[in-house]
Each structure stands twice: as structure tokens, then as C-alpha cells.
């Protein structure tokens, strides 16, 4: 069983881009918005599976689960494209991710969002 590193994802996605360089947008910041939009489209496909089939089927039906995970993988591939297009390294991503995680671990989400949790008149 594999457990991919951010650096491996970046390398794999760069290799895929290099294989398709003549047909795909350049790995430049100006084209990152396209990757974000495609990423959201893939997330929409995952959402559609949740809406149409439900959580219990995703957990219990191996073929559906595989399809659902594939949509999430598509989403991640576009997210990695965004990192490549903005020149964000595995180290920079990891540093910011770890800092954000540490900050989130100290947060009190219910308290911060109490206004949203209250019923409106």
C-alpha cells in the first residue's frame, strides 16, 4: 500500500504535464485559474455521487466507492497543477499546511461560529 508524499505528487503531475505539454496549458501562473475551475468541476462530480447515491452506498459499494475516490483524485490532480503553476514547492506547502493545522488545533470552532449556529428570528 502506497502513501504518497507531496513531492511525489508534484513529480508525477509534472511528468504527466510533460507528456501532454503540446496539448495542455503551460505550467504558468496565468493558467492556474483554469486548474482551479477544473478542480471545482471534479469536486462537483464527487458531490453529485454523494447527493445521488448517499454516504452508505459510498461506504458499502466497492465499485461506487472506487468511482467516488477517482473523482477526488481528479480534484487533487488539479490542486497539484495549481501548486505547479504557482511554483509552490512540497516544502513550502508542507510548512504552511503544518502551521495551519497547528493553528486549527488551538481553535474553538463552535465558539468562533456561534453566531452562525444560533437560530435566526
Domains and CATH numbers, the chain: 6-117 (1.10.287)
Residue 29 sits at the vertex; the CA angle it makes with 96 and 41, to the nearest 5 degrees, is 80
Query: Which pLDDT value is given to residue 110?
Result: 86
Residues 6+ away with beta carbon under 8 Å from 51: none
Mean pLDDT for the stretch of residues 26-51: 97
pTM for this entry: 0.87
- Tell me if 79 sits within 8 A of 85, measured CB to CB: no
Residues 102-119: tens digit of each pLDDT: 999 999 988 888 877 676
Q: Quote the CA–CA distance of 109 and 61 in Å, as a whole number.
A: 33
Q: Is the distance from CB of 78 to CB of 35 less than 8 angstroms?
A: yes
User: What's residue 119's pLDDT?
Assistant: 66
Instruction: Summarize pLDDT for 4-28 with one digit per residue, the tens.
Output: 999 999 999 999 999 999 999 999 9
pLDDT for res 121: 60
Amino acid at each position: 500500500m502506497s502513501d504518497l508524499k507531496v513531492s511525489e505528487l508534484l513529480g508525477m503531475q509534472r511528468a504527466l504535464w510533460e507528456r501532454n505539454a503540446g496539448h495542455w496549458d503551460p505550467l504558468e501562473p496565468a493558467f492556474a485559474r483554469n486548474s482551479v475551475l477544473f478542480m471545482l468541476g471534479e469536486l462537483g462530480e464527487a458531490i453529485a455521487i454523494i447527493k445521488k447515491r448517499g454516504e452508505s452506498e459510498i461506504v458499502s459499494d466497492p465499485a461506487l466507492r472506487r468511482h467516488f475516490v477517482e473523482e477526488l483524485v481528479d480534484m487533487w490532480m488539479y490542486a497539484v497543477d495549481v501548486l505547479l503553476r504557482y511554483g509552490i514547492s512540497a516544502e513550502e506547502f508542507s510548512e504552511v499546511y503544518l502551521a495551519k493545522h497547528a493553528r486549527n488545533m488551538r481553535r474553538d470552532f463552535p465558539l468562533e461560529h456561534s453566531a452562525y449556529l444560533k437560530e435566526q428570528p
